[in-house]
Structure 1
Amino acid sequence: MQSSSNNAGQGIEDKLAALHTNVNAIRSIASAVEGTFGPKGLDTMLVDTAGKVVITNDGVTILNKIEVNHPAAKMLIQVARSQQNEVGDGTTTATILSSELLSEAVSQVDKGVPIPKVISGIKKGVQIAIQLLRQLARPVSIEDYSVLYQIALVAGREHEDIAKLIVRAAKLIGNDKLLNDNFKLADSIVAHEGSENELISGLMINKRRMNSQMPDKVENVNVLVIQDAFEPEEIDEEALGTEIGFSKYLEFKEIFKQNLKKITELGIEFIAVNRGVDPVAEEFCVDHGIMVIQHLTSEEIKRLAEHTGAKTIKRSGLNKVLDDLKTYIGHAKVVYEDEKLKKTRVIEGKGKPVATILVGASTGEIVEERERIAKDAASSVQAAIRGGYLPGGGSIETFIAAEIENRRDQIRGMEGFGVLAVAKALKKPMAQIILNAGFNPLEKLEEVMIAQMEQRKEGIGIDADSGMLIDMEEAGVIDPSLVKIHAINAAAEITEAILRIHTIIKMRSPDDDQD
């Protein structure tokens, strides 16, 4: 009987071997960022083979730069990237929750709970958690400066100068644009070594004037945006070899010269070009004091047109009569080349308002980190405007964990074990913050849960400096609800994916696929 029992146990272990292998890989990745979490989290130094050093406590930066070979670990890194792409912040939270939820789920499987039941229970637990997060979220608008500042300050790791810049930029841009899914405030951030922090009411384009003899500054300027090459219309080489083709080529060159004259008649002083510029056009613009930048990306062209109120035009569009061309012209208060940054500034266009957030620092390594911090802060502010905010410091997750545990009795059968796995995982963020602050997580978590239950206040948490109970919202420790919602969803998705993997098999190389 003993031998039979041992064989049965060995059989279960064999079946779960792939699961345990994957869990261990994910735990190892999560451990790389756990120590950075919370206000007392420390930095990580990343060093490559060439000796380049990156010092950061930004979760997605660490995960993107560490060397990873295990497929499950790569899946976890993809979760962090998804968190970054969707909401721009909370990558460490998503990583820690994913690791903890998977660990708790596997713990239930090891006890004999069938994997399908665990997965089903996790889905129910996550559904409850997200429903409660949405119900408890506090709305916020662009006018709530103090709230947005605190959100930026928390996400920006207590960098007050960056938090102020971000909130000012958000107010300049306005609610409508911040609520647009296609706009990311974080994309407005530019970092440069040796620069001062600055909020620019306009665009910073990563190009310089194409010719140093062109003006480096124009004011009250009419703008032309060419989404094409600033050249005569083309004739293919085969046609050019014919008499008719060559005649057409000469005709196009003459038309182009006439179109250049229209540029001056329209009072154009700044031209932005998607592609290249013909030498004749370059000389013409130098002679007539017109500033030109070329080889802009499609995104730069789009943003410039929107900000200046210009309509993009093709080279053939320049054949239009003057009255029609006037409708394509944009306007800006000033356009000038920033010699220090080697970029072009377009200030106060008459189109849609735009803010560029310039973040500076003394060294390249530091400015990169400040750029990451600013992007996190900007993403958090935008996420809060879209979905509201909640108490931070792990307090809301701990409160919801207790609520889920209270509802455990409503879940019949073995799915309840999956629900409990969600509740236990939700306690991890606060436990990790407490641990990184140098206190006992078990003791402090118990204090928090008792206080939350007695006072029915979801915002009670731990002061990372003193270890005392505080109201996180009153202390200004607040987070966007969308960051938490996406992190929990992401954790559930990777947990289910890993739980469903029964066997790991190495694929044959494509080079071996020969008939």
Structure 2
Amino acid sequence: MSVKQVSSNTEVDERLAALMTNANAIRAISSAVEGTLGPKGLDTMLVDKFGDVVITNDGVTILQLMEVNHPAARMLIKTAKAQQSEIGDGTTTATVLAGSLISEGVNQVTKGVPVSRVIEGLKAGVKKAIEMFHRHARPIQGVHDPMLERVALVAGREHQDIAQLVVDASRLIGEEKLKESGYKLSDSVRAREGADNQVLTGVVVNKKPMNEDMPKRLENASVLIVDDALEPEEMGDEALSTEAGFNWYRQKQQEFLENIRKIIALDIKVLLVDRGVEDIAEEMLTDAGVLVIQRVSSRELKKAAEHTGARAVKRTGLKREPQDLIRYLGKAGKVIVDDKLEHVCLLQGSGKPVATVLVGAATEEVVGERERIAKDAASAVQAAVKGGLVPGGGAVELAVARQIEEVRRETKGMAAYGLDCVVGALKKPFSQIITNAGFNPLEKLGDVIAAQMEQESDRLSINCDNGEVSDMWELGVIDPVLVKVHALKAAGEVAEAILRIDTIIKKREERADGKGEHGEGNW
């Protein structure tokens, strides 16, 4: 063997080693969550160095809390987080698909298929599969479609109480609001220890009133939102030491007190403040029967404004004439202070309809998991309304995989091997669901594919209770098509990024001044 051949083989081995290293890291992440997939999936326990424990079945929670150092693994976790941010559900599916796509891609490369051809076929296969998913989707017949309850139940891991809460909230909000860009039903979910399960037609502010003497219940209350501190304008100590500065300070104090009197005179009954409230203002407002809540989060202020119809003002805006300030007020039909749960409910606002899903939990340990389950159900319901439904249980993935196999037979060149990666990945969710249910995935895969071909149906998969081929649509095992589409799209993107990496180089250390270890331009 010549020196040139040895050098070439060494270079190939180094590039393959980089790919294998990244693929193994991805596989480790995928393995960490795949055991949670399907109705028989199990929980994962995460333990930190202090012994604190989180037990969950939620894929994105596992990925966020697990300790990860490998850069390729971090890429996959970021992809799963993007799936969560975009759709709110399907992170486990996206992770499992990505792991399978990369594993299949590495297998093809080790057989001698050029990486570029694998990527070419993989991209074409993912694009075709996404088109197929949309073709298999059935639209939802509005928020009162009974199938929506099944969607919530599947995504809510068979928690009937949570599923019903989410469906009730979606019907209260309405189809138009659910389809609105930027609105997330999952943001309306709150879980509290000792709370009763309920859907509130309003906003929950997770703060107590400033003072115990403030009213606990109000009706037809005017609401003012101050996106600022309710305090006089500040002045430096040096300025206060001068006569002009002291006079300026006294003037601002008088203006501030006049603004508080103006609030009282306008019969404002609820005051939400972004920051702190001056002691004298608290005293005056308490005496006037005004309910004041300070240090409210910006997200809750925004939701309260939207629901009550209020417009937030800065403290300088309080200088406006009373008739001008009235235009900034909102209205709440009912305001209830819940001392037990330490929050305030603003209900029946005059602005846009808003629902809050309050999920009860028996103990503090299960609050987080109950909230995660409800958020998944809410995200799935909203995705179903937006894009429609497909059969679950891996059924539609197998149907699409068979269609990709037909495309593969018509594809010339080595890009066909990339299509094989997509076919293998589409079969992975079904195989993992069956494995978690305690059945032989190879045997059941053959049974389902044969049944789907014989009946020309995309609805057939395995009933995880008895192991028999069943119609997923009739069983109510259904999923939002957007969850499938975004999961495959995200998996395809991260798989392509990982497969393109053939060299791993450690970056040089950066000095505090931003230059390299040997100075700018030095090697």
User: For the superposition of Structure 1 and Structure 2, which TM-score range results when normalised by the shorter chain?
Assistant: over 0.9
**2-structure distance, mates of 1:251, 1:28:** 66
Measured against aligned partners, the alpha-carbon deviations of 1:118-165 in whole angstroms (never above 9, x if no partner) come to 101111101110111112211215433411111110011000000000
Partner of 1:439: 439
**1-structure distance, mates of 2:15, 2:236:** 66
Measured against aligned partners, the alpha-carbon deviations of 1:442-497 in whole angstroms (never above 9, x if no partner) come to 11111111211222211111100111111111111111111111111111111111
Q: For residues 108-147 of structure 1, what are the structure 2 equivalents within 5 Å? A: 108-147=108-147
**1-structure distance, mates of 2:167, 2:295:** 32
Partner of 1:382: 382
Query: 393-402 or 300-309, which moves further after superposition?
Result: 300-309
Measured against aligned partners, the alpha-carbon deviations of 1:164-219 in whole angstroms (never above 9, x if no partner) come to 00010111112222112221111111111222212111111111111122222222
1:474 aligns with 2:474: yes
Query: 105-114 or 251-260, which moves further after superposition?
Result: 251-260
Partner of 1:65: 65
CA separation of 1:284/1:4 partners in 2, compared to 1, >3 Å: closer, same or farther? closer
**Amino acid in the other structure paired with 2:333:** K
**2-structure distance, mates of 1:232, 1:92:** 51
Number of aligned positions between the proteins: 515
**2-structure distance, mates of 1:2, 1:240:** 87
**Contact 2:192–2:358 (CA<8 Å) still a contact in 1?**
yes
Partner of 1:295: 295
**2-structure distance, mates of 1:230, 1:445:** 65
Post-superposition offset of 1:513: 1.8
**1-structure distance, mates of 2:265, 2:378:** 43
1:363 aligns with 2:367: no
Post-superposition offset of 1:338: 1.1
**2-structure distance, mates of 1:86, 1:32:** 22
**2-structure distance, mates of 1:205, 1:126:** 43
Q: Which residue, 514, 517, 521 being the options, matches 1:513? A: 517
**2-structure distance, mates of 1:239, 1:387:** 62
**Contact 1:38–1:393 (CA<8 Å) still a contact in 2?**
yes
CA separation of 1:66/1:282 partners in 2, compared to 1, >3 Å: closer, same or farther? same
**Amino acid in the other structure paired with 1:107:** N
**1-structure distance, mates of 2:376, 2:243:** 62
**2-structure distance, mates of 1:67, 1:315:** 45
**Contact 1:141–1:175 (CA<8 Å) still a contact in 2?**
no
Q: For residues 361-510 of structure 1, what are the structure 2 equivalents within 5 Å? A: 361-510=361-510
Q: For residues 4-153 of structure 1, what are the structure 2 equivalents within 5 Å? A: 12-153=12-153
**Amino acid in the other structure paired with 1:250:** R
Structure 2 residue matching 1:360: 3-state secondary structure: strand
Query: 257-266 or 474-483, which moves further after superposition?
Result: 257-266
Partner of 2:343: 343
Structure 1 residue matching 2:359: 3-state secondary structure: strand
**Amino acid in the other structure paired with 2:420:** L
**Contact 1:173–1:355 (CA<8 Å) still a contact in 2?**
yes
Query: 102-111 or 316-325, which moves further after superposition?
Result: 316-325
Structure 2 residue matching 1:486: 3-state secondary structure: helix
Q: For residues 153-172 of structure 1, what are the structure 2 equivalents within 5 Å? A: 153-172=153-172
Query: 267-276 or 252-261, which moves further after superposition?
Result: 252-261
Unaligned runs of 5+ in 2: none
1:176 aligns with 2:173: no
Partner of 1:197: 197
**Contact 2:190–2:371 (CA<8 Å) still a contact in 1?**
yes
**2-structure distance, mates of 1:387, 1:250:** 61
**Contact 2:143–2:175 (CA<8 Å) still a contact in 1?**
no
Unaligned runs of 5+ in 1: none
Post-superposition offset of 1:3: 12
Structure 1 residue matching 2:223: 3-state secondary structure: strand
**Contact 1:228–1:273 (CA<8 Å) still a contact in 2?**
yes
Structure 2 residue matching 1:510: 3-state secondary structure: coil
Q: For residues 208-287 of structure 1, what are the structure 2 equivalents within 5 Å? A: 208-235=208-235, 237-287=237-287
**Amino acid in the other structure paired with 1:410:** E
Structure 1 residue matching 2:68: 3-state secondary structure: coil
Over the matched positions of the two proteins, sequence identity in percent amounts to 54
**1-structure distance, mates of 2:490, 2:379:** 18
Measured against aligned partners, the alpha-carbon deviations of 1:356-376 in whole angstroms (never above 9, x if no partner) come to 111122222212111111111
**2-structure distance, mates of 1:433, 1:42:** 11
**Amino acid in the other structure paired with 1:485:** V
**Contact 1:142–1:170 (CA<8 Å) still a contact in 2?**
no
Post-superposition offset of 1:247: 2.6
**1-structure distance, mates of 2:11, 2:258:** 85
- Alpha carbon RMSD of aligned pairs, Å? 2.0
**Amino acid in the other structure paired with 2:429:** P
**1-structure distance, mates of 2:455, 2:382:** 31
**1-structure distance, mates of 2:400, 2:38:** 19
Post-superposition offset of 1:261: 2.4
**Contact 1:380–1:479 (CA<8 Å) still a contact in 2?**
yes
**Amino acid in the other structure paired with 1:161:** D
**1-structure distance, mates of 2:7, 2:434:** 43
Post-superposition offset of 1:254: 2.2
Structure 1 residue matching 2:231: 3-state secondary structure: coil
Structure 1 residue matching 2:357: 3-state secondary structure: strand
Post-superposition offset of 1:4: 11
**Contact 2:271–2:292 (CA<8 Å) still a contact in 1?**
yes
Partner of 1:330: 330
**Amino acid in the other structure paired with 1:300:** E
**2-structure distance, mates of 1:2, 1:363:** 71
**2-structure distance, mates of 1:242, 1:248:** 10
Post-superposition offset of 1:46: 1.6
**Amino acid in the other structure paired with 1:304:** A
Structure 2 residue matching 1:414: 3-state secondary structure: coil
Post-superposition offset of 1:238: 4.8
Measured against aligned partners, the alpha-carbon deviations of 1:330-373 in whole angstroms (never above 9, x if no partner) come to 11122222111111111111111111111122222212111111
**1-structure distance, mates of 2:234, 2:11:** 73
**Amino acid in the other structure paired with 1:401:** A
Structure 2 residue matching 1:98: 3-state secondary structure: helix
Post-superposition offset of 1:231: 2.5
Query: 471-480 or 208-217, which moves further after superposition?
Result: 208-217
**Amino acid in the other structure paired with 2:364:** G
**Amino acid in the other structure paired with 2:506:** K
**Contact 1:145–1:167 (CA<8 Å) still a contact in 2?**
no
**Contact 2:196–2:358 (CA<8 Å) still a contact in 1?**
yes
**Contact 1:225–1:271 (CA<8 Å) still a contact in 2?**
yes
Query: 257-266 or 344-353, which moves further after superposition?
Result: 257-266
